[in-house]
A and B are shown apart, each in its own frame.
Chain A
Amino acid sequence: MADCLFTSRGQTRAQLMVSALKAAGIGASTRKLPLKLANEGCAYGVAVAENDRERALRTLRLEGLPPRRVYCERGYDWTEVGR
């Protein structure tokens, strides 16, 4: 269940983030972000399960691909939980 979104600076970066996560054994996929999370209009990010969030963040920072922002689903909305 993908319930966290890592925003990225572009689709290519999002794809590289997914590759890095998959290489580390973490399930992830690119996702077009809900418009309310994309100030500049259409944007891409990476969806991961909340259980994998911390490990995924560590992996991405290690790979030099940190997300811009981190959102998790809370109720029916997305809440920013970190950067």
Chain B
Amino acid sequence: MIYFDSAATTLRKPPEVARAVMRAMHESANAGRGEGSSYADSVLIDCRKEAAALFGASPEQVAFCFNATHALNIAINTLARGARRCVISGYEHNAVRRPLLSLRDAGLETAVVRSPLFEPEFFLYELERELERGADFAVITHVSNVFGFVLPIERADAMCAEHGVPLIIDASQSAGCISLDLSKLGAARFVAMPGHKGLYGPQGTGLLICLGDAEPLMYGGTGQDSRSEGMPDYLPERLEAGTQNTHGIAGLTEGIRFVRSRTPEGILAHEQAMLRRILRGLESCPPIKTYDAPHLFCQSGVLSMEVRGKASEEVAEALAAQGIATRAGLHCAPLAHETAGTSERGTLRVSPSAFSTPREADIFCERIIRIARN
């Protein structure tokens, strides 16, 4: 299979990931729960250290979650306490939009920064206007999961810092392919990410990096402070009720090691090279409209496209029948489609990974051109 749906999950992982999961399944007891837990304990701390090193954080700021959605819910529920107004980009996923809308009845207003695709300056201008109207916190995705639009997150962070507005960064599409040095950010309070996408870990893993206090979403046993009625008042244990996904976390550690060895810049350059090859291959096919950035710096390895006269689902199905996996529709991000003006038909999304090859890109072009012309 040619797998171009890495923005949903990376299918091909470094072999060390599966080996680490298997070893943990054989050797890992319950971390922090008994004398047999030393291997599990080492799995957790190793992963925290690797993640901290990748993002310029400290290991105690790294909390384990089930996925990015879980991490975002913790972050949003922490900052939404007592908040009246929140500002988000127009490219947010439902993992941000839905938790915020669920708080509408509690009095939280969500203001959306509308800005055209691949226009970072326009976005910053509109963000400033919304921040000037007042905000208790902001949530901004680093990269749009639909279009690969890289939002100017460092400058947005500086702008939020100037206005004293804490920021949640959704790094679901950037973690592993765009470096983010948290020690240089001023307003960022949380960075949420999945383990199973650009970090090449197993599904069921996610990370929340906390640059301040956080409120738990779940309550329960932590293996420590058992007499206390509340959760521990320190991170990361405060957010980690119940048995952790140690098997998955063992794999995630190896995924992060892979990313660190290739470097996020190296992985991004490879994915962008794949996209450029696809764009070149589709140049001669007018019925295919691609959403590509005029400047390389504001698009990651994600590309949306439409085939004139055909529904994106129909195209994706035809490609799947020929062994090519893509993703069609709204990509759980109706807001992003609304902002970009593609919500009527959705798009077909192509997202290669560090393991994609030029030959796969060429085959994809050949097949989709055939579909478009039929």
Contact residues of A with B, CB < 8 Å?
9-13, 15-16, 19, 30, 32, 39-44
Tell me if B226 and A41 are in contact (CB < 8 A): yes
Q: How many A-B contacts are there with CB distance less than 8 Å?
A: 53
**Chain B contacts with A in 56-95, Cβ cutoff 8 A:** 59-60
Interface hit among B97-105, B227-235, B268-276: B227-235
Main secondary structure of the interface of A (DSSP, over half): mixed
B236 contacts the other chain (Cβ, under 8 Å)?
yes
Size band of the interface chain B makes with A: 20 to 34
B237 contacts the other chain (Cβ, under 8 Å)?
yes
User: Shortest beta-carbon distance, B204 to chain A, in Å?
Assistant: 21
User: Shortest beta-carbon distance, B59 to chain A, in Å?
Assistant: 6
Tell me if A11 and B60 are in contact (CB < 8 A): no
Closest residue of chain A to B34 (Cβ to Cβ) is A32
B48 contacts the other chain (Cβ, under 8 Å)?
yes
Tell me if B223 and A11 are in contact (CB < 8 A): yes
Q: Which of A10, A15, A32, A42 contacts B234 (CB 8 A)?
A: A10
Complex alpha-carbon distance, A16 and B237, angstroms: 14
Complex alpha-carbon distance, A11 and B237, angstroms: 8
Complex alpha-carbon distance, A42 and B223, angstroms: 7
User: Shortest beta-carbon distance, A81 to chain B, in Å?
Assistant: 23
B41 contacts the other chain (Cβ, under 8 Å)?
yes
Tell me if A44 and B32 are in contact (CB < 8 A): yes
User: Shortest beta-carbon distance, A36 to chain B, in Å?
Assistant: 12
Starting from the known contacts A10-B237, A40-B228, 20 additional A-B residue pairs (CB-CB under 8 Å) come to A9-B232, A10-B224, A10-B232, A10-B234, A11-B224, A12-B48, A12-B59, A12-B236, A13-B60, A16-B59, A19-B49, A40-B225, A40-B226, A40-B227, A41-B225, A41-B226, A42-B224, A43-B224, A43-B225, A44-B224
